[in-house]
Amino acid sequence: MRKTLISVVVATAFASLSLAVTAAEVTGAGASFPAPIYAKWADAYNKATGNKINYQSIGSGGGIKQIQAKTVDFGASDMPLTPEQLTKDGLTQFPAVIGGIVPVVNLAGVKPGELKLTGALLADIFLGKVTKWSDKAIKELNPSLNLPDSDIGVVRRADGSGTSFVFTNYLSKASAEWKTKVGESTAPQWPVGLGGKGNEGVSAFVQKLPGSIGYVEYAYAKTNKLTHALVQNKDKQFPQPDDTTFKAAAAYAKWDASFYEILTDEPGKESWPITSATFILMHKSQDKPAQGAEVLKFFDWAYKNGNKMAEELEYVPLPDATTKLVRTSWDGVKDAAGKPVFSAK
């Protein structure tokens, strides 16, 4: 009886595992944003099926490059590729899960969810214009907090990052100056700050540096017990980041066949303003159809069995209507003979 061998590893800034890769293995690489849920899904999938998934958390930029070069079976990115980019590289993409990005701070005496910021103020901090925690603009938003008269230590991503793309996309909507001077990018020219690799690296820097501020996917803030700040949304409210407010923002998504959708600064009193989907990238024409089929089997399984696990990490599972559209799109992933490698029917 032939057994498919698929190796699992989720590489982080703290742990890197090197496994010998054989022709039969299925591998993926990319965004650190979804790495906690991919790890949880992969472990449960292994227990349920005996199959394993090798996913390396290297950042969205790395994931895009590796799938373009065909060195992995799937790439992962928090920045969706445009329809034109997909066509150019012969790729298809689909969302896997929805989550939120939060500012995190290291301020003595400040509890999670106490510090309030606006998008414009966040932009000024990351532009290096607001440099002290005692700045008038911060104090006016937080009159009850005893904020120190100390420098703000900015921490940002050092690698090509979909989390950075989503964060800078939001800042570009919140601040005309940010849009003009920096704009949105997976690897922007940051005016100030120390760089950490991955959501893991930014989390570690913020934990170590008193007076610092960074931005991470909410699962990292929750897992590492970081102090998140609130951000004023489009309706001038300060919602708490959680699955309810991520879901509120995601309700405005208008998915089409390309799945190109960015969920920042959506309307609604409950909407978290820095919400994002994270995406899987695959080649439409599969050189290794067995591997392509196994990738789709894994995500099909996750859609059916992984919602509770996603919610436990404060991710938002995709609505049924969206997963139905995704499964339809999988018919476009074909072998050399033009036959779909996997059918979810």
Q: CA 217 to CA 32: how far, in whole Å?
A: 9
> Whole-model pTM?
0.88
Tens-digit pLDDT profile for residues 331-341? 999 999 999 99
Per the CB < 8 A criterion, the answer to whether 278 and 162 are in contact is yes
Is the same domain home to 120 and 246? yes
170 in a domain, yes or no?
A: yes
Query: What would the pLDDT profile of 241-256 be if each residue is shown by its tens digit?
Result: 999 999 999 999 999 9
Q: Looking at the structure, do residues 144 and 230 belong to the same domain, yes or no?
A: yes
Query: Are 74 and 124 members of one domain?
Result: no
The pLDDT value recorded for residue 25 is 66
pLDDT tens-digit map of 171-209: 999 999 999 999 999 999 999 999 999 999 999 999 999
Question: C-alpha distances in angstroms, 265 versus 94, 143, 244?
Answer: 21, 25, 16
In this structure, is residue 267 part of a structural domain?
A: no
For residue 321, being part of any structural domain is answered with yes
Shared domain check, 89 and 118: no
- Cα distances from 160 to residues 11, 28, 138, 189, 330, in angstroms, run 16, 17, 30, 11, 27
- Is the Cβ–Cβ distance between 134 and 140 less than 8 Å? no
**How many structural domains does the chain have?**
2
Pairing of strands 227-228, 91-105: antiparallel
**Which domain, by its residues, includes 135?**
104-250
- Predicted local distance difference test score (pLDDT) of residue 23: 33
What integer pLDDT is reported at residue 344 of this predicted model? 83
Cα–Cα distances (Å) from 48 to 41, 51, 313, in that order, read 10, 8, 20
- If asked whether residues 72 and 128 sit together in one domain, one would say no
List the chain residues with pLDDT less than 50: 1-24
Contact indicator for 60, 66 with CB cutoff of 8 Å: no
38 and 93 fall within a common domain: yes
Residue 87, domain CATH? 3.40.190.10
Domain membership of residue 266 (yes or no) is: no
Q: Tell whether 71 and 121 lie within a shared domain.
A: no
Quick one: 197 and 284 in the same domain?
no
My answer on whether 164 and 77 are in the same domain is no
Residues 112 and 204 in one domain: yes
Which pLDDT score is estimated for 2? 40
The verdict on 242 and 167 lying in the same domain is yes
Same domain, 90 and 117: no
**What separation in angstroms does the CA of 283 have from each of 37, 95, 334?**
23, 15, 9
Q: Is residue 339 part of a domain?
A: no
